[in-house]
């Protein structure tokens, strides 16, 4: 077994036997990855490439990388200077890798230069989906920006200082594991987003993240499980872990949750790795059929009726 294997809930380790069974299963397999990005883009690419190759070898048809997979800068200036366009070298390397490995990629938070970069030096935080032919098939730009001051927790981040909020949600993407609805990190705290994606056909929600240690310990798992339960969807959340530079550390615990809210895999809070998960859409269908929450939902006018008072 590889050093990159993570623990399944219940303390059970993924073994070679389980991996081979997954690889030959009729149910598609996703790999949810955990990395420690730094300001060194080349080292980050090398580490992610290794995880993608291993995931493919172990039978994954879609691989999920976290927010900031390309890099995590130590200052606003560094973050901006390292950014690229979707047509730049970094995305080109990932599209080539997807084509070579014949695997779908969820690249969960790319520092994309904004439309007026030369004048305003602002970027998008972009979640890019690449298919197994190397085509970019969807781009969702993070719509809820993390501007939070928690002095007692040592948390101080102002994403809006250099990031443009996305203008709209992206429709769920048809992939080999099912219809994937796209979010990024802080979006996790807004159930309106997950419910909108579910209403438009999402069977899987994904929240690639770089949660702080303080907010991660308090809220990460419970929020991911809540989103899975209320939408009756799989939730796959790739994560950053460990120390990125002297000013920033991430919580880790890349997680896979099923439509009932059970945690299928957890990458822990220590080191990079991955968890493989069988995405059995019959679980989604069965959960929604047995407890038809969406059919019980009232029309939009009911939920906005308080605003008329």
Burial class (CB in 10 A: 0-12, 13-18, 19+), 259: buried
Q: Is-catalytic flag, 203?
A: no
Q: Tally Cβ neighbours within 10 Å of residue 32.
A: 32
142 is catalytic: yes
Report the relative pairing of strands 255-257 and 263-266 from DSSP bridges: antiparallel
Q: Are the CB atoms for 184 and 125 separated by under 8 Å? A: yes
Per-residue pLDDT tens digits for 224-270 = 999 999 999 999 999 999 999 998 999 999 999 999 999 999 999 99
Calculate the CA 258 to chain-centre distance: 15
Catalytic residue among 48, 185, 267, 278: 185
Helices (H), ranges, the chain: 16-24, 41-57, 76-81, 89-101, 117-120, 191-199, 213-215, 221-231, 281-290, 293-296, 300-303
Confidence of residue 111 (pLDDT cuts 50, 70, 90): very high
Query: How do residues 196-221 score in pLDDT, each as one tens digit?
Result: 999 999 999 999 999 999 999 999 99
pTM of the model: 0.91
Q: What SS3 state is found at 288?
A: helix
* Sequence spans of domains, the chain: 16-308
93's CB contacts (< 8 A; 6+ apart) are 45
Choosing from 48, 142, 179, 267, which is the catalytic residue?
A: 142
Q: Give me the phi and psi of 43, to 5 degrees please.
A: -65, -40
pLDDT at 92 exceeding the cut of 70: yes
Out of 67, 112, 203, 278, the active site residue is: 67
Number of helices (H), then strands (E), belonging to the chain: the values are 11, 16
With a cut of 50, say whether residue 23 has pLDDT above it: no
For residue 37, CA distances in Å to 65, 257, 269 come to 11, 24, 14
Instruction: Return the closest-CA partner of residue 125 out of 108, 148, 142.
Output: 142
CATH class as words, domain 16-308: alpha beta
Tell me the three state secondary structure of residue 112: strand
Helix (H/G/I), strand (E/B), else coil: 172: coil
Catalytic site residue 133?
A: no
């Amino acid at each position: 077994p590889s050093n990159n294997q993570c623990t399944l809930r219940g303390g059970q380790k993924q073994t070679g036997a389980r991996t081979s069974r997954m690889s030959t299963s009729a149910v598609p397999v996703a790999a949810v990855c955990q990395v420690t990005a730094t300001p060194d883009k080349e080292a980050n690419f090398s580490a992610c490439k290794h995880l993608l190759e291993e995931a493919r070898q172990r039978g994954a048809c879609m691989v999920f990388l976290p927010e900031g997979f390309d890099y995590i800068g130590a200052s606003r200036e560094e973050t901006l200077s390292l950014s690229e366009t979707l047509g730049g070298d970094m995305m080109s390397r990932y599209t080539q890798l997807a084509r070579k490995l014949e695997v779908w990629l969820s690249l969960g938070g790319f520092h994309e230069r904004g439309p007026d970069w030369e004048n305003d030096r602002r970027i998008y935080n972009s979640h890019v989906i690449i298919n197994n032919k190397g085509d970019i098939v969807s781009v969702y730009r993070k719509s809820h920006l993390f501007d939070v001051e928690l002095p007692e927790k040592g948390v101080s981040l102002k994403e809006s200082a250099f990031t443009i909020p996305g203008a709209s949600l992206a429709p769920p993407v048809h992939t080999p594991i099912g219809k994937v609805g796209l979010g990024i990190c802080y979006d996790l705290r807004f159930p309106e987003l997950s419910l909108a994606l579910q209403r438009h056909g999402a069977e899987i929600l994904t929240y690639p993240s770089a949660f702080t240690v303080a907010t991660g310990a308090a809220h990460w798992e419970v929020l991911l499980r809540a989103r899975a339960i209320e939408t009756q969807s799989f939730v796959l959340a790739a994560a950053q872990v460990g120390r990125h530079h002297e000013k920033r550390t991430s919580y880790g615990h890349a997680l896979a949750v099923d439509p009932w809210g059970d945690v299928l895999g957890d990458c822990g809070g220590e080191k990079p790795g991955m968890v493989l998960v069988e995405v059995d859409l019959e679980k989604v269908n069965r959960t929604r059929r047995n407890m038809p929450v969406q059919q019980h939902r009232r029309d939009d006018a009911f939920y906005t009726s308080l605003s008329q008072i």
